[in-house]
Amino acid sequence: MFSAKLKPHGGIRPYSHKSLTRDIAIRPLAAPRQLIVPLRQHTGPAAVPVVAPGAILSAGQLIAEARERMSAPVHAALAGVVTDVVSGDQGYIKIKVNAPADQPLAPRLAAPDGLDDVHAMLSLIEQAGIVGMGGAMFPAADKIRMSLRYPIETLIVNGGECEPYLTTDDRLMREQAEFIIGGIRYLQAITHARQVYIGIEDNKTEAIARLDELCRQERNIEVVILPSLYPIGSAKQMIEAVTGRQIPQNRRSTEMGVLVQNVGTCIAIFHAIRFGKPVTHRVITVSGRAVEHPGNLLVPIGTPIKEIIGQCGGLKSQPARIVLGGPMMGRAVEDLATPINKGTSGLLLLNGDELPQTRPSACLRCGRCLDACPMSLAPQAMFAELKNDGFAKARQQGLNACLLCGSCAYVCPAALPLTQFFDWGQQQLRLIKHQEDKLSRTRQNSARRQERLAREAAEKAAALAAKPARRARRNAPPTEDTPC
Ligand code: SF4
Ligand code: SF4
């Protein structure tokens, strides 16, 4: 065990609110009556349903297949009957749950015959539908396969749960440390990473002690104590703190020989390879001052948030905001039928006192946002450009590297909506790129067509030019040389 090599630049120390749930053990949610399972719980295109309304399901059964790369299959968490299927990116499969106590289980996942160990393990990770459980939702098998293009020296297991309120990873490290080590061993076998570090913030003392105890029996797995700083859980900050190396803005960490995986992802990998189990449940923190009994719950994926609130004793007061994820990077929701997906780490029911007061004024040019930005960007300059639709200049200033972490907005005394602008700006850049690509394809097609037409015209002209000569030769009177 050792302390971080250096404090990554930028970052903030928001009030953690973790005392609401950090000492509450994970408990399973009682089976809900209905699941609404989203088809897109990963970065790529939506999975394709393989069941129809009326289908009777076993727990763990495949209900939607991955479509292509960056997509991940989806499984039923509980036994039941399919009541509705809607395809597409916003699609879902509704399941009326039954037999929660003694439900039939789908067969365990199995790797196809003939694969070597590494590909068999990757196949199981892929079949299990594992995505980054820290919230990124990048399909784990794709991420590992991409990392194999480079020699991976270092595996960093991310126990940096820096968002306020969330204690999911803290509880997993305290209660399921053996599974994390099991997942790490499989990842080592796949990537041949020589050194493994488990990065944990210094406010998680029990988690540090538990994992350090297990790591003493391991040859090359070490715990690294990190400063409690937001957003130390983002991959680039984690790498900087653990290894002392900065990953340049336009490079991937795997290109530099480092693979980062979240602790929850390691547990899912362990269960997929060891027991052939797909991802059907996840642990979430339910917290905030508006909920009666905050806690950490093991929740079937697809459970509507209304059901979870009900099983946490209901509401103490009407929440001013409901957030899926953490308060810094989470998503505000209004519809209580919204389901939990594989990337949901928290459900926050916040009352008015827990929200920042937002009455924006003009920028004071105080420079606090510059100090807070973990990516060394100039938030106030990007904001000024975006206000005037200066997308190209904002891009030059590094808008695409922005993590949308909200650190700049958190420290801004003028309460400027910096993160919302950067989020919108990144969407506009994606749109502009899409239009530029389309225009460039149209131009290329048009140029190719012009070339083809010009070539055909030249060939035609050449053929026409050759015709009179041939005709003249045919019509010419025979000479002595003309063969009979
Ligand atoms: S939201 Fe973007 S600009 Fe603001 S601190 Fe985070 S990375 Fe920097
Ligand atoms: S923190 Fe806010 S007020 Fe200060 S320079 Fe940045 S944008 Fe302006």
Nearest CA to ligand 1 atom 4: 408
Write down the pTM of the prediction.
0.88
Neighbours of 92 (CB within 10 A): 22
Instruction: Give the per-residue pLDDT at 102.
Output: 65
The dihedral built from the CA positions of residue 423, 424, 430 and 433, taken in this order, carries a sign that is: negative
Query: Is the shortest distance between the CB of 343 and ligand 1 below 6 Å?
Result: no
DSSP-derived letter for residue 270 is H
**Tell me: the pLDDT tens digits for 183-237?**
999 999 999 999 999 999 999 999 999 999 999 988 899 999 999 999 999 998 9
For the CA of 403, the nearest atom of ligand 1: 7
**Ligand 2 pocket by C-beta < 6 Å: which residues?**
363-369, 379-380, 411-414, 416
Q: Pick the closest to residue 263 from 406, 347, 155, 122 (CA basis).
A: 155
| 109 vs 123: CA distance, rounded Å | 9
Sign of CA dihedral 465, 470, 475, 480: positive
Q: Check residue 357 and give its pLDDT.
A: 75
pLDDT for res 117: 92
Which residue's CA lies nearest to atom 5 of ligand 1? Answer: 373
For 2-31+106-281, which CATH class?
alpha beta
* 379 Cα nearest atom in ligand 1: 3
Rounded to the nearest angstrom, the distance between the alpha carbon of 378 and the centre of ligand 1 is 8
Asked if 411 contacts 368 with a C-beta cutoff of 8 angstroms, the reply is yes
What CA–CA distances, in Å, run from 55 to 169, 258, 384? 35, 44, 54
The predicted pLDDT at position 9 comes to 82
The CB of 377 under 6 Å from ligand 1? The reply is yes
The residue to mutate among 163, 404, 416, 420, having the most atoms of ligand 1 within 8 angstroms of its beta carbon, is: 404
The three-point CA angle 150-153-155 to 5° equals: 105
Q: Which long-range contacts (CB under 8 A, 24 or more apart) does 376-380 make?
A: 376/9, 376/10, 377/401, 377/402, 379/408, 379/418, 379/422, 380/418
Q: Which CATH number fits domain 283-354: 2.60.120.10, 3.10.150.10, 3.10.20.600, 3.40.50.1820?
A: 3.10.20.600
What does the pLDDT read at residue 134?
83
Q: What are phi and psi of 131, to 5 degrees?
A: -125, 170
Pocket test for ligand 2, best of 361, 364, 419 (most atoms within 8 A of CB): 364
Q: Contact, 25 vs 50, CB < 8 A?
A: no
Ligand 1 contact, 403 CB (< 6 A): yes
What are the residue boundaries of the structural domains of the chain, listed by start?
2-31+106-281, 283-354, 357-468
Structure tokens at 465: 């030019």
Residues of the chain with pLDDT under 50: 484
CATH number of 357-468: 1.10.1060
Residue partners of 206: CB distance under 8 A and separation at least 6: 170, 174
Which pLDDT score, from 0 to 100, does residue 484 have? Answer: 42
2-31+106-281 and 357-468 share one fold: no
Q: Ligand 2 centre and the CA of 415: distance in Å? A: 8
Cis upstream peptide for 231 (omega within 30°)? yes
